[in-house]
Structure 1
Amino acid sequence: MPATFGYLKDVRPYKIGWRVQVKVLHAWKQYTSDTGETLELVFSDELGKKIHCTVKKDLVSRYVNSLTVGDWVLIETFGLSYAGGQFRPTNHLYKMTFVNTTTVFGSEPKSESNYLSLAKFEKIHSGELNPHILVDVMGQIVMVSELENLEANNKPTCKLDFEMRDET
């Protein structure tokens, strides 16, 4: 029997048998010395609620090809834990984690929305927004610095500074 269908606003960690229909908004691979390489994703349901998801290194190869940015998928059986950290990609109280029994199925699109939640520049400047949650912004780039080669965590990396202004 299929798991209970739920919206992201309703999922809670008291069970793993949830079934959600979501759009893959963002996907990136991340490497840390603690966890190795993980697949990180941001999903949104048709109501526009977003959630961060982690696929641990031993499961990445199983799911990476079925989680294409822009596609809608049905996801069954996953773990949830409290979201935390300095740079959270969503404001959802929980973070989704794929487990060995997670299944992903292609789904018909529910919406063509990009599900951006654009933050107002005034709220950013005033400090009204939570500084630990990343926000979407749109504006005009008015200054771009030279690309700097730096070292971060004993690895070479590049830094680019730019200045944006509100488009209004």
Structure 2
Amino acid sequence: MSKLTTFVPLTKLRPFKDNWRIQVKCLHSWKQNTPFVGDTFEMVLADQWGNKIHATSKRSLMQRIQRVLPIDSWGVIEHVTVTPAGGQYRTTNYKYKMVIAEDAVLSRSDLVDDRVFISLANYEEIENGTKKQAFLIDVIGRIYDLGDVQTVQVSGEDRKRVLFRLVDAEGNNLACCLWGTYAEQLEPFSLNGKDQTIICLIRFAKIKEFRGIFWICHDVGSNFL
């Protein structure tokens, strides 16, 4: 049995140590392939204080991690390391990224906490360009001006795309673009239900600027309510 009896907040993690014991909830996970690292398993984790961190592991550890820590569940992880977070878009604003290696110890947690840890971005900050574009954001609103789901060529491959605008409670609106399976989620409404009221929550979205307009584009997750 581990001698570690308390949980460390994610904001206390630092490099050059691995004797951390953390209790976290998996908010999202996905597989990734990059030229430099190869196949990896990526996650966004949160602790009970609401702190979030990006976590990564080798693809070979994915099934082991998912058995203990599937999406929306809590688990305990011991012996992890952190490294400086980088990249053009970061899933959280924390300066470190967690690395789960073969020697990490994972176990289930009995914590019951149904919070989803959404951090909604402000429309006006996005429109004015004051919201940082380096981090992924959560955004929610009513879909307006929903276009047709189209198939377009991207790097020689056919991909589905849909364009629309999101409107908040104050009437501010943002241009949005969803691709692939996320666009397919809107296809039934695009074909038959454009007059319906559709509330859209896009999690981990990118802010992109194109021809002077700031766009919301999906990254690793979206939900339609």
**TM norm structure 1:** 0.89
Distance in 1 (alpha carbons) for counterparts of 2:25 and 2:89: 21
The one-letter amino acid paired with 2:32 is: Q
Residue by residue, what CA displacement relative to the aligned partner does 1:19-39 show, whole Å, maximum 9, x if unpaired? 110111111122234333322
Q: Are residue 140 (structure 1) and residue 121 (structure 2) matched?
A: no
Quick check: 1:46–1:110 contact (8 Å CA) kept in 2?
no
Shift of 1:109: 2.2
Quick check: 1:118–1:138 contact (8 Å CA) kept in 2?
yes
Quick check: 2:25–2:69 contact (8 Å CA) kept in 1?
no
Distance in 1 (alpha carbons) for counterparts of 2:152 and 2:108: 41
Quick check: 1:35–1:56 contact (8 Å CA) kept in 2?
no
Show structure 1 runs of 5+ residues with no match: none
Which residue matches 1:32?
34
Residue by residue, what CA displacement relative to the aligned partner does 1:42-72 show, whole Å, maximum 9, x if unpaired? 1111111100111222322322322211101
Which runs of structure 2 are paired with 1:34-113 in the superposition (5 Å)? 34-113=36-115
Pairwise CA RMSD: 1.9
Shift of 1:155: 4.4
Shift of 1:154: 5.0
Q: Are residue 125 (structure 1) and residue 127 (structure 2) matched?
A: yes
Distance in 1 (alpha carbons) for counterparts of 2:11 and 2:112: 17
Q: Percent of aligned pairs with the same residue?
A: 35
- In structure 2, relative to structure 1, the CA distance for the partners of 1:35 and 1:14 (3 Å cut) is closer
Which residue matches 2:206?
none
The one-letter amino acid paired with 2:56 is: T
Which residue matches 1:149?
151
Shift of 1:104: 1.4
* Structure whose residues are more often helix by fraction: 2
Q: State the 4+ residue runs in structure 1 displaced beyond 6 angstroms.
A: none
The one-letter amino acid paired with 2:143 is: I
Quick check: 1:82–1:95 contact (8 Å CA) kept in 2?
yes
Show structure 2 runs of 5+ residues with no match: 171-225
Distance in 2 (alpha carbons) for counterparts of 1:154 and 1:35: 24
Higher relative contact order (CA 8 A, sep 6+): 1
Q: Figure out how many residues of one structure are paired with residues of the other and give that number.
A: 168
**TM norm structure 2:** 0.68
- In structure 2, relative to structure 1, the CA distance for the partners of 1:154 and 1:108 (3 Å cut) is farther
